[in-house]
Structure 1
Amino acid sequence: MCPDPEPASSFLLRLRGPLTQPSDHSNRTPLLGQQIKSPAYFDEGFRLLETHLRELMDTLAEALPLDPAILGRIPLIRAENADGEFDHCSPEAPQVLSLAFELLNMVEENVAFGLRSRRRSEHGPGAVSGLWPHMLGKLSEAGCSEEEALEHFRKVRVEPVLTAHPTEAKRPEVREKHLAIYHKIVEWDAARSDPHRSRRLRSSLAAELEALWFTGEIFIRRPSVENELRNAVYYLREVFPDVVVRLDRSLEAAWQDHGWSLTRLREENAYPRVRFSTWIGGDRDGHPLVTAEVTARCLAELRGHAATLHGRWLRRAAESLPLAPPFIDCPREIRAGLTSLAESLGDPGRKILKQNRIAPWRAWLYLLREKMTRLPEDGGYGRSEDYRAELDLMHESLQEAGAHRCVTEFVRPLQRLEEVFSFHLAAMDVRQNSATHDQAFAEILQAASLQGGQDFPSWSEEKRIKFLSEELRNPRPLLARGLILPDRADNVLSPLRVLADEVERHGSGGLGQLIVSMTRQASDLLLVHLLAREAGLADFSSAGQWRAKLPVTPLFETGDDLTHADTILENYFAALDGPPASIQPAMVGYSDSNKDAGVFASQWGIHRALERISAVCEKAGSTVQCFHGRGGTIGRGAGPTHWFLRALPPA
């Protein structure tokens, strides 16, 4: 039988050719692993890294309008570019060193990619661990059949969550400039055999470096939540869509090379399910700038950027599909649909149809793009399902007409991006601290004239669970409509009301989880369901209890909380007469657990906690969704993702 597959690491495939011609991989030796890891590869890598870095540092020194004494601090610079005594008090010195290390990262990534390409060329596609060919090979070695692999892949759910903090100070324009510089480095590397083009690209790269120097790397003022969102949107809209499409195509190539049926993979749509989430605009734990109004604006902005994303890809596909009768038969459904769709969009729709009258599929895509720019009341889409249905109709019509490769290359990416990004780009989580919930609920109980309610935070756990369980079975809310609440209560309920309005108007697809920081006891989770009821974000279930419309997620952070995580969930399920849904999210924190218990102890505590959480959820008939709060530093749980996944408890 096939074990649970290890997810392949995601990677951004840069479209560059192999360093050598592909060789025959049919007679691989048993020492392939030793050959791949031979010192020759490492020696070559370090040689290329140093050579390319020296060239780039010299280009940087020539580009910057600085005193030679400061330029002399640039690593690996030529001696003639370094002169004078270094002024340690110079404000430019730290900026020069920071820029040099940014460039080091870019050169290292470019060289590493080249060496990976060479290894795959000389030793086969599976020579690089963590990529699809390698992972499919490991599945086969474990005895996994194609049928079992398809079944497992359909169950895979990957959900990266983008968080942000007020300390994030790097301007998004700088990130865009870094990407432009990296692309110039790649072009320059590829043009080394052409002296004229190489010199021209080096000059262009120097101009990019000069522009970056004068741009300023950090915000002068503290960034707003909207600044943080703009930074995340850049990746969600400009980077991740291409990554998703390339990952799918990489999987298809590996699947086919492995001897499995590409047709089955596509027909069963067995690609791993991916969606993105964000805390930006919803993380209220210690972030006073995140008000209810900010949450509403961020949700609207995410919807707007999702429409921009789909519109851009629709235009790209339309430009690639000038298919025209009589060279291809256009099915009746498309012809009839074109007229109806154009009329529904008024004069702009009729103009699009007239301009593209001989290219029906191009006209169809341009009409969908026009519809994407409108509000529902103006003829735009009300639900992403409507958009998907029109993409599916185009898919089927091209298949019927025999344009199978066009479907794969141009239409399938549109369908995939609708699955991943829908009309919300990323689902927004809302996080708040359990202590803040307690204080807010105490004010709510006081406003409801409940005797002793002001002492709710100090109630025993037994008393809290008894009260909350009884109240969750009460069909009537505690608060009268229109009642003016104290600040703490209003600050907790107002964003939940924003979420309730979002569900009412746009559905729950753009919303993620209600995360409770510092979950210490089961009542911390029960309370969120009751707060959701007061905000109109809960339904009265058939079991006779109020349940929040969004998943309620505990965040276990300290060593003690991790130790008792299974007991907390067990008591939570008991109070609700069972799990609230078939999937129960549980988040484990790395930063606070490391600070509380130390790096090694916290990692072991997280491992043991996940084992116990999984057992409790399985016993209750629910599937646990592990939410790992890993960040970019070692203290926040950083490290190679596939190593981290291998360290998870066995199923």
Structure 2
Amino acid sequence: MDLKNLPITPLPSVKLDKHQEDLLLHNELFSNLLGETIFRYAGLHIYEVTEKLKEASSKYYKTQKQEARKNLSSFCSDLTDVEILRVIRSFSIFSALANIAEDVYQTHEQRYAKISNKLQIGSLEKSLKNLKNKGISQEKILKAMEKVSIVPVLTAHPTQVQRKSILDLTKKLTDILDKYENVKLHQIDENEWLNDLSRGIQIWWQTAMLRATKLRVTDEISNALSYYNITFFNEIPRLMNKFQEISKTLGNSELKSQALLPLTMGMWIGGDRDGNPYVTVNTLEKSAQEQAIKLFQHYLDVVREIYRDLSMSIAMTNVTEELQKLADASGEVSPHRTHEPYRRALTAIRDRLLATAYNLCEYNRDLLPPKRKNGVDIPYKSASEFTKDLVIVAESLKKNNSEFLTQGKLNNLISATKTFGFHLATIDLRQDSSVHEVCVAELLKSANILGDYLSLSEDARCEILLRELEYDPRILSDPTIPQSETLASELAIYRKAKSLRDRFGDKIIEKNLISHATSVSDMLEIAILLKEANLAKGNEGNEFCDLQIVPLFETVEDLIAAPNILRKWFNLSLVKKWMDKKGRKQEVMLGYSDSNKDGGYLSSSWSLYKAQKELTAIGREFDVEISFFHGRGGTVGRGGGPSYEAILAQPEGSTDGTIRLTEQGEVIGAKYGNPDLGLKNLEALVSAALESSALTAEDANWEEYEKIIEDVSELSYHAYRDLVYNTDGFSDFFFEVTPINFIAGLNIGSRPSSRKKTQSLESLRAIPWVFSWSQARIMLPGWYGVGTAFTKWINNDNKNMDILQRMYKEWPFFRSTISNVDMVLSKSDLSIFSEYVKLASDQETAQKIFNEIAKEWILTIDVLKKITGNDVLLADNPELVSSLRNRLPYFDSMNYLQIELIKRSRAGDNSEELKKAIHISINGLATGLRNSG
């Protein structure tokens, strides 16, 4: 293929409205302030180099000619390592500043929509209207509301790129820029406002962008928890109250509405051991403790604020008998409080809350305020007791003509206690099935039961595991017998889980996930380990399993085998007894990453869809409520894309309102680093769950379309496999034309990038696999195989294109799938990728592979245009178009600089400046693309 005339990514032009003009103004302002900062700290030369590179990239987008880029490579090669380091910092910082400008723009758009009563996609109001338009009855909507249970699970991944210091600066500059409206109204002095922005950018320039040391699990815990103060503590209760108010408006009683709990939080950091040797019993304890201290600090702060607000005197109002008892229990002796029953009651609540915090936060008590002398030193037995006391305060206000005073802080705190309890977020345990089987084999051997468990067939394994669970009440471990480090570590985790549940309540740890679950024995092995910590029993009359055993089906083969595994599981008499006692529920985790790496985007998406349909049907067959945990990443290549559309794209009847999904790495910051956008994202999840729950399987019939996708998916799978796994030299090609080896050395996560210490596609984690392709601007895992598959199917019959166009309009799954491919291709650039291809040592093979990728890229875009009826990508997403138009010149410059740095590194340049510059380029591109891994 002629590299000089490679096709350009077809994007629409931007039509500016008033708000987008503000966005452009803010981007220009940031650019100018950053330019002044570069000039001040790096000098005129670096400033001029940066501007020259930016202008060269911008010219390409103005002329739409590849010729405009011809000097970029030689221009970058003329710079020294030190110069490149300074220039790459400039572009990286601007990428982050562009994110800030867009977040503020989105926030203002949201506020404008509220003021103008414009229904936004993803809002509860819009979802209710959608359901009514589809003829869904009010009764059915209310029933669906009772089922809604969304759990965003915060996870850490190897591609979390931002330092906490940079996140703090981001928040500060966002808050300053958000005040622009006040500047326009002359409520804030413009010069002072500009100076505040400039100071923030100057501090940013002088702040290290990279971590000096590897990120630790404890750092990841702290980073994730920082978003509670920013967003979750305030916005989740607000959303919960809104949801409950809608329930009342639709006819539910106060009691029924108050019982609704549409949103709770989950956590993987500290309990997810899969492939991460740094997650131990200590990090599990740390995670629970850090969560608790964060939560109690919040509760105590809000109780203190309510205390200050409720200054009412008994001389001016009455109180209920329950409130008076609470006030009397405080023992408050200050003469200033004698006639202030609400404050005295809140003193008693604060005393008990603080006593609870001291009781649970064993290692963080120095972060708590001192106890009150002669205070009520009786810890709450449960969070529901705390809730009950707060409700007493609220009920007293309501019954004495002050219901309005319950709104805001008090109602939000009551909702928070129901959502967060005394644990904050449920911590999941996760480990690979291969670790479990080795541990069980060692236990059986040390107990003189069986010498070689690993050599047994699946049926034989199940037989012996069930015998140990059902007929032998003794545990297998013996403290007098030496244990391997692996077994000792795993048993310590389960004993700690038991201890934490006893202290914080059952919700602190509820589930045990099994990575690479491929059999029933994988699930029974967990039960054996749970039994060692008295978390499960199977002997007659005393059957229980405190943690739900959750299989994670990841590869395409695993997803195909999943229905058979669950059918066998549900047929076990022991499992039936466990379910009868705990509730007939079973969670299944679906892994988007590995199935995508294994079979490509379309094949992965369809395999996940089919698995959900089949597993839901099996659940109905066995009277078991199946719920799904979606292991989505931020990128399309890992199941990403807009969450609202993704939930509605699931098979009707499969979600039933209950959905857990991972929120990982830098995506947490993008979604929840701003409270307004955080609320919007959370509401979109709840709204989608409500819609999908109300629309049952009987409301839709996509059988004809599903058969088509079955055929197309098979074609896509083979096209993807032919390139990635069946093309000679492809593995070497990948490792040479992407910055994967530099990503592995970057301090951006606590977990290793490979499961094994080998350079192979098989051992590489799916996360850095996607990350690397996005850095090289080709995003291959998010689209490859789609063009070939649809083209072959279309060519079978001239009516087939009409069918696909109808599918796109009618079927949510297909529309979401095509939309995601459209989105990921919009961020790709064939010309820039061709420059990365020049890094390969075997150019003959590399160019052959590149030609195959380029042909598929062109084919896929052509197919998308025909299916959607649009002649450009992102025709229905003007916001993303505007975003890309603003930042693409900065991306391109960073790509060309990164390529030059990789060349130098491979030529033997090992300077510290070069290493830093490569890692900052990775950081900057990930920040700007906002879908790194």
> Which TM-score applies when normalising by structure 1?
0.85
Match of 1:102 in 2: 96
Aligned to 1:129, which of 121, 124, 134?
121
Shift in CA distance, 540/228, structure 1 to aligned 2, threshold 3 Å: same
Matched ranges for 1:457-476 at <5 A: 457-476=454-473
The superposition leaves residues 294-337 of structure 1 with CA deviations (integer Å, 9 ceiling, x where unpaired) of 21222122222221121122122222222222221122322222
- Tell me what 1:443 maps to: 442
**Other-structure match for 1:371:** 352
The answer as to 2:53 corresponding to 1:53 is no
Match of 2:507 in 1: 509
For 2:435 and 2:542, the matched residues in 1 are separated by: 24
What is the CA distance between 1:547 and its match in structure 2?
3.9
Which range moved further: 489-498 or 43-52? 43-52
Deviations 1:404-428, CA, capped at 9 Å, x for gaps:
1112333211110001111111111
| 2:628 aligned with 1:619 | no
1:630 is the counterpart of 2:632: yes
One-letter amino acid of the counterpart of residue 371, structure 1: R
1:201 has 2:193 as partner: yes
| Deviation at residue 567 of structure 1 after TM alignment | 0.7
Q: 1:98 to 1:265 in 2, by over 3 A?
A: farther
The answer to whether the 8 A contact 1:473-1:545 is kept is no
Distance (Å, rounded) in 2 between the aligned partners of 1:436 and 1:283 = 13
Partner of 2:337: 356
Q: How far apart are residue 475 of structure 1 and its match? A: 4.0
1:203, 1:386 → 2: CA distance? 49
Letter in 1 for 2:343: R
Match among 490, 493, 517 for residue 491 of structure 2: 493
Task: Please say which of residues 170-179 and 580-589 is displaced more in the overlay.
Answer: 170-179
Contact 1:424 1:509 in 2 (8 A): yes
* Residues 448 and 478 in structure 1, CA contact (< 8 A), matched pair in contact too: no
Deviates more, 1:602-611 or 1:181-190: 181-190
C-alpha spacing 1:634/1:292, structure 2 compared with 1 (3 Å): same
Q: Which structure shows the bigger proportion of residues in helix conformation? A: 2
Summarize the Cα distance change of 1:160–1:273 in structure 2 as closer, same or farther, 3 Å threshold.
Answer: same
Letter in 2 for 1:575: L
How far 1:355 moved relative to its partner? 4.7
State the Cα distance separating 1:620 from its structure 2 match: 1.2
Counterparts of 1:574 and 1:303 in 2: how far apart (Å)? 39
* Mapped partners of 2:182, 2:568: distance in 1: 61
Report the Cα offset of residue 604 of structure 1.
0.6
SS in structure 1 at match of 2:184: coil
Provide the residue aligned with 1:607 in structure 2. Answer: 609
Could you tell me which residue of structure 2 aligns to residue 477 of structure 1?
A: 474
Q: Superposition pairs for residues 508-527 of structure 1, below 5 Å?
A: 508-527=506-525
Aligned to 1:4: none
Cross-structure match for 1:649 = 651
**Does residue 43 of structure 2 align to residue 67 of structure 1?**
yes
**Is the Cα contact below 8 Å between 2:475 and 2:531 reproduced in 1?**
no
Structure 1 residues 480 and 449, CA gap change in structure 2 (3 angstroms): same
Letter of the 1:637 counterpart: G
> May I ask how many residue pairs the two structures share in their alignment?
594
Secondary structure of 1:373's match? helix
- Cα separation, partners in 2 of 1:356 and 1:422, compared to 1, 3 Å: same
Q: Distance in 2 between matches of 1:88 and 1:266?
A: 69
Q: Mapping of 1:347-426 within 5 angstroms?
A: 350=332, 354-374=335-355, 375-376=358-359, 378-426=377-425
Structure-2 change in CA distance of 1:214 and 1:553 (3 Å): same
The answer for the alignment partner of 2:535 in structure 1 is 537
Partners in 1 of 2:231 and 2:314 — Cα distance? Answer: 36
Which residue of structure 1 aligns with residue 162 of structure 2?
Answer: 170
| Aligned-partner Cα distance in 1 for 2:347–2:15 | 49
* Runs of 4+ deviating beyond 6 Å: 38-41, 74-79, 252-256
Q: CA deviation at 1:478?
A: 4.1
Question: Is the 8 Å Cα contact of residues 185 and 205 (structure 1) preserved in structure 2?
Answer: yes
Distance verdict in 2 for CA 1:229–1:354, change over 3 Å: farther
Q: Structure 2 residue aligned with 1:282, among 244, 268, 271? A: 271
Moved more, 209-218 or 97-106: 209-218
Q: State the 1:613 CA deviation.
A: 1.0
SS of equivalent to 2:160: coil
Moved more, 270-279 or 172-181: 270-279
Instruction: Go from structure 1 to structure 2 and tell me whether the alpha carbon gap of 1:415 and 1:601 turns closer, same or farther (over 3 Å shift).
Output: same
2:726 counterpart residue number: none
Q: What CA deviation, in whole Å up to 9, does each residue of 1:9-35 have, x standing for no partner?
A: xxxxxxxxxxxxxxxxxxxxxxxxxxx
Q: Which residue pairs with 2:204 in the alignment?
A: 212
* Aligned 1:75-114 pairs, distance under 5 A: 87=79, 89=81, 90=83, 91-114=85-108
- CA distance in structure 2 between the partners assigned to 1:76 and 1:362 by the alignment: 63
| Structure 1 residue 182 corresponds to structure 2 residue 163 | no
Tell me the residue number matched to 2:719: none
Is the contact made by 2:440 and 2:528 (CA closer than 8 Å) also made in structure 1?
no
Q: Is the 8 A contact 1:562 1:606 kept in 2?
A: yes
Give a deviation string over 1:50-75, Cα, whole Å, max 9, x none: 22211121122224422233334269
- Residues 140-179 of structure 1 aligned to structure 2 (within 5 Å): 140-165=132-157, 168-179=160-171
CA distance in 1 between counterparts of 2:591 and 2:541 reads 33
Distance 2:251 2:173 in 1: 37
Structure 2 CA distance, aligned partners of 1:269 and 1:321?
A: 23
| Residues 142 and 252 in structure 2, CA contact (< 8 A), matched pair in contact too | no
Q: CA distance change for structure 1 residues 650 and 416 in 2, over 3 Å: closer, same or farther?
A: same
SS at match of 1:160: strand
Alignment-derived partner of residue 34 in structure 1 = none
Aligned equivalent of 1:19 = none
**More deviation, 38-47/439-448:** 38-47
After the TM superposition, which of the residue ranges 585-594 and 529-538 deviates more from structure 2? 529-538
User: Distance in 2 between the 1:551 and 1:614 partners?
Assistant: 18
Residue 385 of structure 1 deviates from its aligned partner by 1.8
Are residues 195 and 622 of structure 1, via their aligned partners in 2, closer, same or farther at CA, if it must alter by over 3 Å? closer
Q: Which amino acid aligns with 1:592?
A: D
CA distance in 2, matches of 1:420, 1:190: 35
Q: TM-score, normalised by structure 2?
A: 0.60
- Give 2:271's aligned amino acid: G
Tell me how far apart the structure 1 counterparts of residues 317 and 252 of structure 2 sit (CA, whole Å). 23
Paired with 1:113 and 1:409, the residues of 2 have a C-alpha distance of 21
Corresponding residue number in structure 1 for 2:323: 334
Q: In the alignment, residue 301 of structure 2 is paired with which amino acid?
A: R
In 1, Cα distance between the equivalents of 2:207 and 2:502?
A: 43
What does residue 847 of structure 2 align with?
none
Q: Is the 8 A contact 1:630 1:638 kept in 2?
A: yes
Checking the alignment, whether the CA contact within 8 Å between 1:63 and 1:210 is kept in structure 2 is yes
* Shift in Å, 1:227: 0.6
Residues in 2 aligned to 1:493 and 1:104: alpha-carbon distance in whole angstroms: 48
**What secondary structure sits across from 1:514 in the alignment?**
strand
| Preserved CA contact (<8 Å) 2:510 2:546 | no
Partners of 1:246 and 1:389 in 2: how far apart?
19
Letter in 2 for 1:125: K
Q: What amino acid does structure 2 have at the position aligned with 1:206?
A: S
1:317 matched to 2:290: no
Shift of 1:196: 6.5
Tell me how far apart the structure 1 counterparts of residues 80 and 381 of structure 2 sit (CA, whole Å). Answer: 60
* Aligned equivalents of 1:74, 1:449: Cα separation in 2: 73
What CA deviation, in whole Å up to 9, does each residue of 1:548-596 have, x standing for no partner? Answer: 3111100000000001111111111122455543221100011111111
